[in-house]
Amino acid sequence: MDPAMSEDLEAVRDLVNRFMQTEVVPVMDGYEKHGEFPRELIRRAGEAGLYGAVFPESVGGTNLGYLAATVIQEEMARNDVRFAACNNQQGSTCPSCTYFGGTSEQIKKYVPNLLAGKTIGMMSLTESGGGSDAAGAMKTFARRDGDVYRINGQKMFASIANETDVGVLFAKTDRDAGARGITGFIVEPKKYPGWNAQPIDMLGLSNAFRTNVLFLDDFVVPVENRLGTEGEGFKIVMRALEAGRVTVAGKALGIARACFEDAVRYAKERTLRGQPIGRFQMIQSDIAEMATAIEASRALVYKAAYSMDHSLPSNRLGAIAKFHASQTAKLCADKAMQIFGGYGLAKEYRVSWLKSYADLFFTGEGSANVQKILIAEDALGYKVADRHHGKTGLRDIRKNDVAD
């Protein structure tokens, strides 16, 4: 890893921690209590540059790269993962899909406001019958009707779909073409009819940032809002998810660190039989396992992000990093709850809900089992994980500036 980056990364880390401790942590419980969407906090995060690290300055980004973006996600999640959970919609999958597959006009119209936090973004791929088999199970269909498409169907786990201003949604335009029949669309739910997002109650997850079941009833999308040509959608979203996988791994690393820090603090403060429970060897064993797993995950996650910054093959490495970091988050959440004992189930302690987010990132942006299949098939020589590297024909955020 380039040692010249370390000083810049520490400055980024300090910026994020100051922002979170000043702007988010003092007020986030209030938003959660009232189920209020923190639109103003997102705008402030955008002003602080927390969503645009990988994007060029010409579209409102800071051009710092994936390593910086990963550090941003890590520190936001360590401070308050409830607020950080929206970052992949706002600063990754939605603007990335637009940048990878959109025209220069589309990028200039939509991406700057997303990165600035002025408009709320989302991305919707998953359907109720699909999950990891997103292409094979997709039923949502977009029918061309003159100068518009009319989309009908149902999407599942569409995060922030009840609040979004601009999003990217994927639907079939050819029912018989499999993955090659999927097309991406830039959607504007507040501008066109036929969009009905219903929040889902999720165990232990945010009451302010909701995921939704999304009903589409002749939802209108102008033809000029199509991403690329018909049939290019799956290629676009897979490229965005490959990049997002690494930043999700950063969030998992942040959760692991939060659990570790809380567990260490509690083990020093909680006394039993006249001494801190941190003196007990079983507690020390748990602390040691957590510390070791965190260091290993950090090395993998940063290496994957570094590879992406240097346009090196990173799909396999990203899968390894995401799998390991999400495992580490689950391990640390479990160990922290054990160290807290019964208090680990009390909502006043954040370890009670960090476990739910560890489970979320274990599944989100590609489930652990899918990552294992990708890693194993590459190792066995059945399918090279990075076979599409440099061959997608899509715009590269780090190399292709729309201003050029």
Give the catalytic positions in this structure: 365
Task: Phi first, then psi: give them for residue 183, nearest 5 degrees.
Answer: -125, 145
Task: Phi first, then psi: give them for residue 368, nearest 5 degrees.
Answer: -60, -40
Q: How far is CA 93 from the centre of its chain?
A: 7
Sign of torsion over alpha carbons 149, 153, 156, 161: positive
Rounded to an integer, what distance in angstroms lies between the CA atom of residue 287 and that of residue 193? 53
Number of Cβ within 10 Å of residue 398's Cβ equals 16
Rounded to an integer, what distance in angstroms lies between the CA atom of residue 113 and that of residue 131? 30
174 CB contacts (<8 Å, ≥6 apart)?
180, 181, 230, 231
Q: What is the DSSP letter of 387?
A: T
- Give long-range contacts, CB 8 A cutoff, 24+ apart: 196-202: 197/158, 197/161, 197/162, 198/162, 199/162, 200/157, 202/356
Task: Phi first, then psi: give them for residue 172, nearest 5 degrees.
Answer: -75, 135
Cα–Cα distance list, 367 to 46, 164, 204 (Å) = 29, 25, 19
Rounded to an integer, what distance in angstroms lies between the CA atom of residue 245 and that of residue 320? 10
For 189-228, give one letter per residue: b (16+ CB within 10 A) or e: beebeebbbebeeeeebbbbbbbbbbebeebbbeeebbbb
Rounded to an integer, what distance in angstroms lies between the CA atom of residue 352 and that of residue 338? 11
Task: Phi first, then psi: give them for residue 192, nearest 5 degrees.
Answer: -130, 150
